[in-house]
Structure 1
Amino acid sequence: MPKTFQLETPRLLLRRWQETDRAPFAAMNADPAVMRFYPAPFTRQESDESIDRYLAAFEREGFSFFAATLRETGAFAGTIGLQTMRDAVPNLPQPAVEIGWRLTLDHQGLGLAMEGARAIVDFAFRQLALAEVVAITTLANHPSRRVMEKLGMTHRSELDFNHPRVPSGHPYERHTLYSLHNPNISEVSCSTPL
Protein backbone atom coordinates (compact mmCIF):
# COMPACT_ATOMS: atom_id res chain seq x y z
CA MET A 1 0.00 0.00 0.00
CA PRO A 2 1.19 3.56 -0.59
CA LYS A 3 2.79 5.32 2.38
CA THR A 4 0.84 8.48 1.66
CA PHE A 5 -2.90 8.72 1.39
CA GLN A 6 -5.36 11.55 1.72
CA LEU A 7 -8.89 12.58 0.93
CA GLU A 8 -9.81 16.25 0.85
CA THR A 9 -13.15 17.89 1.52
CA PRO A 10 -13.82 21.63 1.56
CA ARG A 11 -12.72 21.85 5.22
CA LEU A 12 -11.04 18.54 6.07
CA LEU A 13 -8.02 16.49 5.20
CA LEU A 14 -8.47 12.77 5.91
CA ARG A 15 -5.08 11.08 5.95
CA ARG A 16 -2.97 8.25 7.34
CA TRP A 17 -1.97 8.51 10.97
CA GLN A 18 1.30 10.17 11.99
CA GLU A 19 3.16 9.92 15.30
CA THR A 20 2.16 13.51 16.07
CA ASP A 21 -1.52 12.46 16.03
CA ARG A 22 -1.15 10.16 19.02
CA ALA A 23 -1.35 12.83 21.74
CA PRO A 24 -4.40 14.72 20.39
CA PHE A 25 -6.16 11.43 19.58
CA ALA A 26 -5.56 10.22 23.14
CA ALA A 27 -6.76 13.56 24.55
CA MET A 28 -9.97 13.30 22.50
CA ASN A 29 -10.56 9.72 23.63
CA ALA A 30 -9.95 10.66 27.29
CA ASP A 31 -12.56 13.45 27.17
CA PRO A 32 -15.72 12.24 28.96
CA ALA A 33 -17.87 14.60 26.86
CA VAL A 34 -16.56 13.14 23.59
CA MET A 35 -16.88 9.60 24.92
CA ARG A 36 -20.34 10.09 26.45
CA PHE A 37 -21.82 7.28 24.33
CA TYR A 38 -19.06 4.80 25.24
CA PRO A 39 -18.88 2.72 28.41
CA ALA A 40 -15.76 4.68 29.46
CA PRO A 41 -13.11 7.01 28.04
CA PHE A 42 -10.04 5.33 26.56
CA THR A 43 -6.67 5.13 28.27
CA ARG A 44 -3.59 6.35 26.41
CA GLN A 45 -2.65 2.73 25.77
CA GLU A 46 -6.08 1.98 24.27
CA SER A 47 -5.80 5.04 22.02
CA ASP A 48 -2.31 4.05 20.86
CA GLU A 49 -3.50 0.49 20.20
CA SER A 50 -6.36 1.90 18.11
CA ILE A 51 -3.95 3.88 15.92
CA ASP A 52 -1.74 0.80 15.57
CA ARG A 53 -4.80 -1.21 14.43
CA TYR A 54 -5.77 1.51 11.94
CA LEU A 55 -2.26 1.59 10.45
CA ALA A 56 -2.16 -2.21 10.16
CA ALA A 57 -5.64 -2.27 8.60
CA PHE A 58 -4.60 0.26 5.97
CA GLU A 59 -1.57 -1.85 5.05
CA ARG A 60 -3.70 -4.99 4.88
CA GLU A 61 -6.94 -3.70 3.32
CA GLY A 62 -6.27 -0.28 1.82
CA PHE A 63 -8.65 1.51 4.17
CA SER A 64 -9.04 2.33 7.83
CA PHE A 65 -10.14 5.06 10.16
CA PHE A 66 -8.12 8.12 9.19
CA ALA A 67 -6.89 11.15 11.07
CA ALA A 68 -9.13 14.13 10.30
CA THR A 69 -7.47 17.54 10.33
CA LEU A 70 -8.66 20.98 9.34
CA ARG A 71 -7.27 21.95 5.94
CA GLU A 72 -6.97 25.61 6.89
CA THR A 73 -5.02 25.19 10.13
CA GLY A 74 -3.87 21.57 10.28
CA ALA A 75 -5.57 21.21 13.67
CA PHE A 76 -6.51 17.69 14.70
CA ALA A 77 -10.31 17.35 14.49
CA GLY A 78 -10.84 13.62 15.09
CA THR A 79 -11.15 10.46 13.05
CA ILE A 80 -13.41 9.45 10.17
CA GLY A 81 -13.13 6.31 8.09
CA LEU A 82 -13.84 2.66 7.50
CA GLN A 83 -12.96 -0.57 9.21
CA THR A 84 -13.75 -4.22 8.81
CA MET A 85 -15.87 -4.92 11.86
CA ARG A 86 -13.97 -6.66 14.65
CA ASP A 87 -17.07 -8.11 16.25
CA ALA A 88 -19.74 -10.11 14.52
CA VAL A 89 -23.17 -8.51 14.53
CA PRO A 90 -25.78 -11.27 14.84
CA ASN A 91 -27.49 -12.02 11.51
CA LEU A 92 -25.13 -9.75 9.55
CA PRO A 93 -22.92 -11.60 7.07
CA GLN A 94 -19.24 -11.04 7.71
CA PRO A 95 -17.00 -9.43 6.85
CA ALA A 96 -18.94 -6.18 7.10
CA VAL A 97 -17.29 -2.80 6.59
CA GLU A 98 -18.25 -0.11 9.06
CA ILE A 99 -18.13 3.63 8.50
CA GLY A 100 -17.62 5.75 11.58
CA TRP A 101 -16.51 9.06 13.00
CA ARG A 102 -15.45 10.65 16.28
CA LEU A 103 -14.63 14.34 16.58
CA THR A 104 -13.10 16.46 19.30
CA LEU A 105 -15.64 18.43 21.29
CA ASP A 106 -14.55 21.70 19.64
CA HIS A 107 -15.27 20.24 16.20
CA GLN A 108 -18.68 18.73 16.91
CA GLY A 109 -21.86 20.39 15.67
CA LEU A 110 -20.16 22.04 12.68
CA GLY A 111 -21.16 19.55 9.99
CA LEU A 112 -17.64 18.10 9.80
CA ALA A 113 -18.74 14.52 10.54
CA MET A 114 -21.19 14.68 7.66
CA GLU A 115 -18.66 16.30 5.32
CA GLY A 116 -16.01 13.70 6.07
CA ALA A 117 -18.44 10.79 6.01
CA ARG A 118 -19.66 11.77 2.54
CA ALA A 119 -16.07 11.68 1.28
CA ILE A 120 -15.56 8.28 2.89
CA VAL A 121 -18.75 6.88 1.32
CA ASP A 122 -17.58 8.12 -2.08
CA PHE A 123 -14.17 6.49 -1.49
CA ALA A 124 -15.83 3.23 -0.34
CA PHE A 125 -18.14 2.97 -3.33
CA ARG A 126 -16.10 4.48 -6.17
CA GLN A 127 -12.52 3.51 -5.35
CA LEU A 128 -12.93 0.41 -3.21
CA ALA A 129 -16.12 -0.79 -4.99
CA LEU A 130 -17.60 -1.98 -1.70
CA ALA A 131 -21.13 -3.29 -2.05
CA GLU A 132 -22.27 -1.80 1.22
CA VAL A 133 -21.18 0.03 4.35
CA VAL A 134 -22.81 -0.22 7.75
CA ALA A 135 -22.73 2.00 10.81
CA ILE A 136 -23.46 1.12 14.40
CA THR A 137 -24.02 3.15 17.52
CA THR A 138 -25.77 2.98 20.83
CA LEU A 139 -29.50 3.68 20.65
CA ALA A 140 -29.03 6.91 22.63
CA ASN A 141 -26.47 8.47 20.26
CA HIS A 142 -28.90 10.68 18.36
CA PRO A 143 -26.25 13.03 16.90
CA SER A 144 -24.49 10.11 15.20
CA ARG A 145 -27.78 8.59 14.10
CA ARG A 146 -28.70 11.91 12.44
CA VAL A 147 -25.47 11.80 10.44
CA MET A 148 -26.29 8.23 9.36
CA GLU A 149 -29.76 9.29 8.24
CA LYS A 150 -28.45 12.36 6.38
CA LEU A 151 -26.01 10.08 4.56
CA GLY A 152 -29.05 8.18 3.27
CA MET A 153 -28.40 5.12 5.43
CA THR A 154 -31.33 2.85 6.26
CA HIS A 155 -32.06 1.98 9.87
CA ARG A 156 -32.11 -1.81 10.16
CA SER A 157 -33.90 -2.23 13.49
CA GLU A 158 -34.21 -5.98 12.93
CA LEU A 159 -30.40 -6.08 13.24
CA ASP A 160 -30.17 -4.17 16.54
CA PHE A 161 -27.91 -6.11 18.91
CA ASN A 162 -26.12 -6.18 22.24
CA HIS A 163 -22.53 -5.09 21.61
CA PRO A 164 -20.12 -7.85 22.69
CA ARG A 165 -17.51 -5.38 24.01
CA VAL A 166 -19.98 -3.43 26.17
CA PRO A 167 -20.57 -4.88 29.64
CA SER A 168 -23.83 -6.78 30.03
CA GLY A 169 -26.50 -4.55 31.53
CA HIS A 170 -24.67 -1.31 30.67
CA PRO A 171 -27.06 1.42 29.40
CA TYR A 172 -25.12 1.51 26.10
CA GLU A 173 -25.02 -2.25 25.55
CA ARG A 174 -27.84 -2.15 22.98
CA HIS A 175 -26.67 -0.96 19.57
CA THR A 176 -28.50 -0.14 16.38
CA LEU A 177 -27.34 -0.71 12.81
CA TYR A 178 -27.74 1.37 9.66
CA SER A 179 -26.72 0.30 6.16
CA LEU A 180 -26.03 2.01 2.86
CA HIS A 181 -25.84 0.14 -0.42
CA ASN A 182 -23.59 1.05 -3.31
CA PRO A 183 -25.96 2.30 -6.04
CA ASN A 184 -23.56 0.96 -8.67
CA ILE A 185 -24.02 -2.61 -7.45
CA SER A 186 -27.49 -4.13 -7.68
CA GLU A 187 -29.34 -6.51 -5.35
CA VAL A 188 -27.22 -6.14 -2.24
CA SER A 189 -28.62 -6.17 1.26
CA CYS A 190 -27.59 -6.92 4.80
CA SER A 191 -28.99 -10.40 4.23
CA THR A 192 -26.70 -11.00 1.25
CA PRO A 193 -23.03 -11.90 1.82
CA LEU A 194 -20.69 -9.07 0.95
Structure 2
Amino acid sequence: MTAIRTPRLLLRRWRPEDLPAYAALNADPEVRRWWSAGVLTRRQSDAQAAKLQAHIEAHGFGFWAVEAPGVAPFVGFVGLQYVDAHLPVGPAVEAGWRLARSFWGLGYATEAAGAAVEYGFDRLGFREILAYAVAGNLPSRRVMERIGMRHDPDADFHHPDRPDDDPKRRHVVYRLVRNRPV
Protein backbone atom coordinates (compact mmCIF):
# COMPACT_ATOMS: atom_id res chain seq x y z
CA MET A 1 0.00 0.00 0.00
CA THR A 2 1.46 3.30 -0.99
CA ALA A 3 -1.38 5.54 0.22
CA ILE A 4 -5.13 5.95 0.22
CA ARG A 5 -6.40 9.25 -1.11
CA THR A 6 -9.78 10.77 -0.44
CA PRO A 7 -11.02 14.14 -1.68
CA ARG A 8 -9.39 15.92 1.29
CA LEU A 9 -7.07 13.42 2.99
CA LEU A 10 -4.11 11.14 2.56
CA LEU A 11 -3.79 7.93 4.60
CA ARG A 12 -0.14 6.86 4.56
CA ARG A 13 2.70 5.20 6.43
CA TRP A 14 4.01 6.93 9.52
CA ARG A 15 6.98 9.30 9.29
CA PRO A 16 9.34 10.40 12.07
CA GLU A 17 8.05 13.95 11.75
CA ASP A 18 4.54 12.72 12.73
CA LEU A 19 5.68 11.83 16.24
CA PRO A 20 5.54 15.29 17.88
CA ALA A 21 2.00 15.92 16.61
CA TYR A 22 0.96 12.41 17.65
CA ALA A 23 2.41 13.00 21.12
CA ALA A 24 0.46 16.27 21.40
CA LEU A 25 -2.73 14.47 20.38
CA ASN A 26 -2.11 11.78 23.03
CA ALA A 27 -1.35 14.40 25.68
CA ASP A 28 -4.78 16.02 25.22
CA PRO A 29 -7.13 14.83 28.02
CA GLU A 30 -10.18 15.42 25.83
CA VAL A 31 -8.81 13.23 23.02
CA ARG A 32 -7.90 10.52 25.54
CA ARG A 33 -11.05 10.73 27.67
CA TRP A 34 -12.35 7.33 26.56
CA TRP A 35 -9.17 5.50 27.54
CA SER A 36 -8.80 4.54 31.19
CA ALA A 37 -5.04 4.96 30.92
CA GLY A 38 -5.53 8.67 30.35
CA VAL A 39 -3.00 10.79 28.53
CA LEU A 40 0.27 9.36 27.25
CA THR A 41 3.79 10.61 27.78
CA ARG A 42 5.94 11.34 24.74
CA ARG A 43 7.74 8.04 25.25
CA GLN A 44 4.47 6.08 25.47
CA SER A 45 3.10 7.87 22.42
CA ASP A 46 6.24 7.16 20.37
CA ALA A 47 6.09 3.49 21.41
CA GLN A 48 2.45 3.31 20.36
CA ALA A 49 3.23 4.87 16.97
CA ALA A 50 6.04 2.34 16.48
CA LYS A 51 3.59 -0.48 17.25
CA LEU A 52 1.06 0.94 14.78
CA GLN A 53 3.74 1.17 12.08
CA ALA A 54 4.93 -2.36 12.87
CA HIS A 55 1.41 -3.67 12.23
CA ILE A 56 1.45 -1.95 8.83
CA GLU A 57 4.86 -3.43 8.02
CA ALA A 58 3.79 -6.93 9.09
CA HIS A 59 0.36 -7.01 7.42
CA GLY A 60 0.34 -4.38 4.68
CA PHE A 61 -2.42 -2.41 6.42
CA GLY A 62 -3.02 -0.82 9.78
CA PHE A 63 -3.80 2.45 11.49
CA TRP A 64 -2.26 4.81 8.95
CA ALA A 65 -1.14 8.37 9.62
CA VAL A 66 -3.60 10.86 8.14
CA GLU A 67 -2.66 14.17 6.63
CA ALA A 68 -4.83 16.88 5.16
CA PRO A 69 -2.75 18.19 2.24
CA GLY A 70 -2.57 21.96 2.28
CA VAL A 71 -4.06 22.04 5.78
CA ALA A 72 -1.90 19.91 8.10
CA PRO A 73 0.82 17.29 7.64
CA PHE A 74 -0.65 15.12 10.43
CA VAL A 75 -4.18 15.12 11.84
CA GLY A 76 -4.25 11.69 13.50
CA PHE A 77 -4.62 8.09 12.48
CA VAL A 78 -7.34 6.07 10.76
CA GLY A 79 -7.33 2.55 9.40
CA LEU A 80 -7.74 -1.14 9.95
CA GLN A 81 -5.94 -3.57 12.20
CA TYR A 82 -6.34 -7.02 13.65
CA VAL A 83 -8.22 -7.01 16.95
CA ASP A 84 -6.14 -7.67 20.05
CA ALA A 85 -6.27 -11.44 20.63
CA HIS A 86 -7.48 -11.16 24.23
CA LEU A 87 -10.66 -9.27 23.32
CA PRO A 88 -13.91 -11.23 23.04
CA VAL A 89 -14.69 -9.87 19.55
CA GLY A 90 -11.65 -11.49 17.93
CA PRO A 91 -10.42 -12.79 15.69
CA ALA A 92 -11.51 -9.90 13.50
CA VAL A 93 -10.40 -6.81 11.65
CA GLU A 94 -11.33 -3.53 13.26
CA ALA A 95 -11.66 -0.04 11.88
CA GLY A 96 -10.36 2.67 14.19
CA TRP A 97 -9.47 6.34 14.34
CA ARG A 98 -8.07 9.03 16.59
CA LEU A 99 -7.77 12.63 15.47
CA ALA A 100 -6.36 15.72 17.12
CA ARG A 101 -9.14 17.79 18.65
CA SER A 102 -8.55 20.71 16.29
CA PHE A 103 -9.70 18.42 13.45
CA TRP A 104 -12.91 17.18 15.05
CA GLY A 105 -16.21 18.08 13.46
CA LEU A 106 -14.82 18.41 9.94
CA GLY A 107 -15.89 14.99 8.71
CA TYR A 108 -12.29 13.77 8.47
CA ALA A 109 -12.84 10.66 10.61
CA THR A 110 -15.85 9.60 8.56
CA GLU A 111 -14.14 10.33 5.24
CA ALA A 112 -10.96 8.48 6.15
CA ALA A 113 -12.67 5.56 7.90
CA GLY A 114 -15.00 5.06 4.94
CA ALA A 115 -12.01 4.95 2.61
CA ALA A 116 -10.14 2.53 4.89
CA VAL A 117 -13.14 0.20 5.07
CA GLU A 118 -13.56 0.25 1.29
CA TYR A 119 -9.85 -0.54 0.93
CA GLY A 120 -10.31 -3.44 3.33
CA PHE A 121 -13.18 -4.88 1.33
CA ASP A 122 -12.05 -4.07 -2.21
CA ARG A 123 -8.26 -4.46 -2.00
CA LEU A 124 -7.70 -6.76 0.98
CA GLY A 125 -10.73 -9.00 0.47
CA PHE A 126 -12.14 -8.81 3.99
CA ARG A 127 -15.73 -9.97 4.33
CA GLU A 128 -16.39 -8.27 7.66
CA ILE A 129 -14.97 -5.27 9.50
CA LEU A 130 -16.01 -4.23 12.96
CA ALA A 131 -15.44 -1.30 15.26
CA TYR A 132 -15.89 -1.00 18.99
CA ALA A 133 -15.93 1.85 21.47
CA VAL A 134 -16.89 2.71 25.02
CA ALA A 135 -20.69 2.70 25.07
CA GLY A 136 -20.82 6.41 25.92
CA ASN A 137 -18.50 7.48 23.11
CA LEU A 138 -21.24 8.87 20.90
CA PRO A 139 -18.94 10.66 18.43
CA SER A 140 -17.22 7.39 17.52
CA ARG A 141 -20.54 5.59 17.34
CA ARG A 142 -21.80 8.23 14.89
CA VAL A 143 -18.74 7.68 12.68
CA MET A 144 -19.47 3.94 12.71
CA GLU A 145 -23.04 4.58 11.64
CA ARG A 146 -22.05 7.08 8.94
CA ILE A 147 -19.74 4.54 7.28
CA GLY A 148 -22.56 2.00 7.19
CA MET A 149 -21.83 -0.08 10.28
CA ARG A 150 -24.68 -1.41 12.38
CA HIS A 151 -24.70 -1.99 16.12
CA ASP A 152 -24.48 -5.69 17.08
CA PRO A 153 -25.72 -5.66 20.70
CA ASP A 154 -25.13 -9.41 21.04
CA ALA A 155 -21.40 -8.76 20.62
CA ASP A 156 -21.12 -5.90 23.15
CA PHE A 157 -18.61 -6.72 25.87
CA HIS A 158 -16.90 -5.61 29.05
CA HIS A 159 -13.29 -4.73 28.26
CA PRO A 160 -11.07 -7.26 30.05
CA ASP A 161 -8.36 -4.67 30.76
CA ARG A 162 -10.68 -2.45 32.78
CA PRO A 163 -11.76 -3.00 36.38
CA ASP A 164 -15.33 -4.05 37.14
CA ASP A 165 -16.19 -0.62 38.56
CA ASP A 166 -14.81 1.33 35.57
CA PRO A 167 -17.71 3.22 33.91
CA LYS A 168 -15.80 2.93 30.61
CA ARG A 169 -15.66 -0.87 30.77
CA ARG A 170 -18.77 -1.51 28.64
CA HIS A 171 -17.99 -1.51 24.91
CA VAL A 172 -20.38 -1.58 22.00
CA VAL A 173 -19.62 -3.39 18.76
CA TYR A 174 -20.59 -2.30 15.26
CA ARG A 175 -20.16 -4.44 12.14
CA LEU A 176 -20.14 -4.05 8.41
CA VAL A 177 -20.37 -7.17 6.25
CA ARG A 178 -19.67 -7.42 2.55
CA ASN A 179 -21.17 -10.62 1.14
CA ARG A 180 -20.13 -10.21 -2.45
CA PRO A 181 -17.20 -12.19 -3.83
CA VAL A 182 -13.87 -10.43 -4.24
TM interval, short-chain normalised: over 0.9
Aligned position for 2:46:
48
The reply to whether residue 38 of structure 1 matches residue 24 of structure 2 is no
> C-alpha separation between the residues in 1 aligned to 2:28 and 2:162?
18
2:160 is aligned to 164
1:1-194 to 2 correspondences below 5 Å: 5-39=2-36, 40-90=38-88, 92=89, 94-185=90-181
Check whether the contact 1:81–1:120 (CA below 8 A) recurs between aligned residues: yes
Question: Counterparts of 1:68 and 1:166 in 2: how far apart (Å)?
Answer: 29
TM-score after normalising by structure 1: 0.88
CA distance in 2, matches of 1:153, 1:135: 8
Unaligned runs of 5+ in 1: 187-194
SS at match of 1:99: strand
TM-score normalised by the chain length of structure 2: 0.93
Equivalent-residue separation in structure 2 for 1:108 and 1:153 (angstroms): 20
Q: How many residues are treated as equivalent by the alignment?
A: 181
Segment of structure 1 superposing worse, 35-44 or 12-21 = 35-44
1:24 partner SS: helix
Q: CA deviation at 1:169?
A: 1.4
Distance in 2 of aligned mates of 1:32 and 1:167: 20
Report if aligned partners of 2:9, 2:112 keep a CA contact under 8 Å in 1. yes
Structure 2 portions without partners, runs of 5+: none
How far residue 49 of structure 1 moved from its aligned partner, in angstroms, is 1.7
